[in-house]
């Protein structure tokens, strides 16, 4: 057995370098950023409104006392994107503003629409009535409050998530540099790509090589691109390794998680008996062909096609996935493992429980 230090040296020397490519930011979900990405500008670019309402100069409300409201004359209405410039704004003036409208001096506060009293009536108002002092900067979103110019949005090496894509779109960043997969793995993702992970099953080691050969032959006869990732090292794994070697199909003994998850995201179908076909593939809206009994008893999404160790059935299942008969369902399916909000739901349930009504006496039920 080699030492830890020696193993670390081997790992460092074996570091894989991925080439980069420029892609549309909207297509970058779960890819790996190849560069630090910074905000090209302040966002929002100017002070603007956080709510629909009326903009006022807070100084004009300083003299308001109880039972002494003041009428503010309505000058115009501004929507997001409208030119905010107004000349010769008199004291006790106001403008109606929609959410996102730019606010310029002398206006510095917003009164939400729900609090507005119109005069002489709501249908044809000429004024609003303000009956209390308004604090400066109420309901104002300041320039750069979401993103400041030069602020780092993504670090090199980060996995790009939906919230990053939303930020990039908001800031007008149309293309970004990501780690390239096609050249590294010699694949064309515009054509069908099968990702194969089939583990040995200890109760089937006498026939495990024959079972795996059924899968390999099915893929070969379909004449599609394939990449094999070796399975576990349980009993029977050497038999599978021998079949992989003879197949001459591109294979990897293992891959870093970020690289694997991007391969899975970009492949057409995951084939084999890996739990990844049960968990990650449905989450990424990818179909999977689950072969044999290894995953029996587990919850299975509608995107999973179950088959036994039979070449022709495996071929039919892969064809079904490649023809999108299943992938259409994957885009609509709900996760079997919830929506990520279980903690909030638990808290809501706990808040409804009256702890004083729960008996403290332990009760045995066996």
Residue 141 exposed, middle or buried by CB count within 10 Å (0-12, 13-18, 19+): buried
Give the SS3 label for residue 95. strand
pTM check: above 0.85: no
In 79-234, the DSSP E strands lie at 93-97, 109-112, 117-119, 127-130, 140-141, 152-154, 175-179, 193-197, 225-229
**Interatomic CA distance for residues 77 and 89, integer angstroms:** 14
∠ at Cα 360 (356, 366), nearest 5°?
Answer: 135
**Interatomic CA distance for residues 344 and 160, integer angstroms:** 25
- Compute the residue count for the chain: 366
pLDDT in the model for residue 130 = 95
Question: Does pLDDT of 15 surpass 70?
Answer: no
Mean pLDDT of 180-184: 77
Domain spans of the chain? 16-38+152-180, 48-141, 184-332
pLDDT in the model for residue 169 = 92
Sign of the torsion formed by the C-alpha atoms of 184, 187, 193 and 197 = negative
pLDDT in the model for residue 67 = 75
**Interatomic CA distance for residues 97 and 55, integer angstroms:** 7
Phi, psi of 168 (to 5 degrees): -65, -40
20-48: burial string, b at 16+ Cβ within 10 Å, e else: eeeeebeebebbbbbeebebeebbbeebb
| Per-chain mean pLDDT for the chain | 89
pLDDT in the model for residue 5 = 75
Alpha helices in 146-295, H assignment, sequence order: 162-170, 182-185, 208-222, 237-247, 257-266, 280-283
pLDDT in the model for residue 69 = 92
Using one digit for the tens of pLDDT, what is the confidence trace for 284-334? 889 999 999 999 999 899 899 999 999 999 999 999 999 864 455 556 666
Using one digit for the tens of pLDDT, what is the confidence trace for 38-82? 999 999 989 999 999 999 999 999 988 777 899 999 999 999 989
pLDDT in the model for residue 14 = 58
- 22: CB partners within 8 A, 6+ apart: 175, 176, 177, 178
pLDDT in the model for residue 118 = 96
Q: Does domain 16-38+152-180 have CATH number 3.90.105.10?
A: yes
pLDDT in the model for residue 17 = 60
∠ at Cα 14 (8, 15), nearest 5°?
Answer: 95
Cβ atoms of 203 and 226 closer than 8 Å = no
Smallest CA-to-CA distance from 55 within 118, 124, 108 is with 108
Between 273 and 299, whose confidence is greater?
273
Using one digit for the tens of pLDDT, what is the confidence trace for 355-364? 788 877 777 7
Using one digit for the tens of pLDDT, what is the confidence trace for 186-208? 888 889 999 999 999 999 999 99
Homologous superfamily (CATH) for 184-332: Glycogen Phosphorylase B; (3.40.50.2000)
- 135: CB partners within 8 A, 6+ apart: 58, 109
CATH class of domain segment(s) 48-141: mainly beta
Mean pLDDT of 152-181: 90
Sign of the torsion formed by the C-alpha atoms of 319, 327, 191 and 243 = negative
Mean pLDDT of 227-232: 95
């Amino acid at each position: 057995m080699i030492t830890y230090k020696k193993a670390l040296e081997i790992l460092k020397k074996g570091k894989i370098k991925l080439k980069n490519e420029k892609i549309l930011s909207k297509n970058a979900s779960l890819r790996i950023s190849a560069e630090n990405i910074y905000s090209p500008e302040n966002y929002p670019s100017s002070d603007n409104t956080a709510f629909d309402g009326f903009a006022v100069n807070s100084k004009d409300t300083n003299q308001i006392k109880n039972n002494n409201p003041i009428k503010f004359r309505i000058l115009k209405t501004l929507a997001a994107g409208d030119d905010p410039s107004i000349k010769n704004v008199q004291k006790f003036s106001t403008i109606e503003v929609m959410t996102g409208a730019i606010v310029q001096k002398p206006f510095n506060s917003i009164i939400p629409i729900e609090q507005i009293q119109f005069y002489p009536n709501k249908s044809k108002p000429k004024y609003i009535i303000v009956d209390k002092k308004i604090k400066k900067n109420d309901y104002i979103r300041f320039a750069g409050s979401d993103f400041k110019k030069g602020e780092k949005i993504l670090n090199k090496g980060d996995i790009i998530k939906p919230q990053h894509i939303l930020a990039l779109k908001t800031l007008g960043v149309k293309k970004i540099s990501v780690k390239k997969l096609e050249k590294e793995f010699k694949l064309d993702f515009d054509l069908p790509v099968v990702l194969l992970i089939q583990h040995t099953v200890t109760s089937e080691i006498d026939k495990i090589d024959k079972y795996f050969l059924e899968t390999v032959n099915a893929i070969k006869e379909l004449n599609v691109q394939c990449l094999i990732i070796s399975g576990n090292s349980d009993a029977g794994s050497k038999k599978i390794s021998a079949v992989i070697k003879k197949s001459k199909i591109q294979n990897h003994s293992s891959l870093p998680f970020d690289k694997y998850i991007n391969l899975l995201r970009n492949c057409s179908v995951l084939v084999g008996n890996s739990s990844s076909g049960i968990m990650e593939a449905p989450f990424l809206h990818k179909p999977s062909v689950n072969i044999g009994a290894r995953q029996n008893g587990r919850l299975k999404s509608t995107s999973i096609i179950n088959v036994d160790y039979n070449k022709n059935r495996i071929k039919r299942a892969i064809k079904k996935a490649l023809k999108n008969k299943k992938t259409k369902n994957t885009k609509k399916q709900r996760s079997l493992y919830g929506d990520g909000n279980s903690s909030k739901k638990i808290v809501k349930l706990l808040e409804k429980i009256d702890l004083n009504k729960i008996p403290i006496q332990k009760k045995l039920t066996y």
